[in-house]
Amino acid sequence: MHTEPNKQPQNMQTGYVPPQMNHGGHELFDVHEVLSATIGALNQAMILRPHVKDPELLDILDRQHRFSLDEYNITVEAFKTGKDPSHPTGTYMMKQENDFVYGMKSTQPKSPMQPGAEISDEMISGFLLSSAKTGATARAAAALETCNPVLRRVLADSIPNCIEMAYELSIYQNKHHYYQVPQLAPEDMQGLLNAYTTSQGQPSMPPPTNLQ
């Protein structure tokens, strides 16, 4: 739920700051990066769409594009007004089962595409996956620099959606052997899984020494 602050923001020189001006310098630059990258990702999906061959990948691309476009619009609203957008950030729901196939299978080495090479579903799903991962990272960085509480929450709420989209695409790639997931040897895995344990009880906190 996006909520506006109870106390009005102030500028040390000019006093009251209206909602649409309730942004810091770092925030403006970082959110510009997020919005520009989002436009790039949306345009890329539109350019790649005619080359998709697999109906399942086409469905993923279309659903993610629709959701991302709506999320872009409400982020722009919050950015320009400093107030709640026309509707809250949604929750992206993928259709894939969350089952990975682990292990490495011998494949041909990969290399950059040559002129005239076919744009494959493997390439397209890889482009979409990279965009989703970049989106999560950029939004997290921007949210950490954002002063406006509404815009900060819009950005923060969008990060899980980027993660979910990336997860959906990685599962799709894994199912088609485009993206392989190695595992450690069982004894190494157990060693790492058992390297930590939960804390027992509530620790007694040391007293502060510098309070006035």
pLDDT at residue 202, as a whole number: 83
Asked if 131 and 44 touch (Cβ cutoff 8 Å), the reply is yes
Kind and range of the H or E element at 147?
A: none
**Which 8-state DSSP code applies to residue 50?**
G
- E strands of 62-135, at which residues? none
Domains, the chain, in order of start with CATH, read: 16-97+121-193 (1.20.1260)
| pLDDT tens by residue, 20-64 | 666 677 888 999 999 999 999 999 999 999 999 999 999 999 999
- Residue 10: what pLDDT? 46
Q: Are 100 and 156 in contact (CB under 8 A)?
A: no
Place of tokens 């041909």: 108
Section 134-158 average pLDDT: 95
Which pLDDT does position 12 carry in this prediction? 40
The beta-strand segments (E) located in 62-210 are none
* Nearest-angstrom CA–CA distance, 200 and 212: 33
- Six-digit token pair at 199? 């804390």
The mean pLDDT of the chain is: 88
Place of tokens 């954002």: 146
Give the largest CA-CA distance in the chain: 73
Residue at 110: amino acid letter: K
What is the Cα–Cα distance from 93 to 73, expressed in whole angstroms? 19
Flag whether pLDDT at 116 surpasses 70: yes
Q: What stretch of H or E contains 11?
A: strand 10-11
**Residue 3 clears pLDDT 60, i.e. is over it:** no
pLDDT at 8: 56
The fraction of the chain above a pLDDT of 90, given in percent, is: 67
Q: Is 146 exposed, middle or buried (0-12, 13-18, 19+ CB in 10 A)?
A: buried
Residue 150 contacts residue 83 (beta carbons within 8 Å):
yes
3-state DSSP call for residue 210?
coil
pLDDT tens-digit readout, 167-206: 999 999 999 999 999 999 999 999 999 999 998 888 888 8
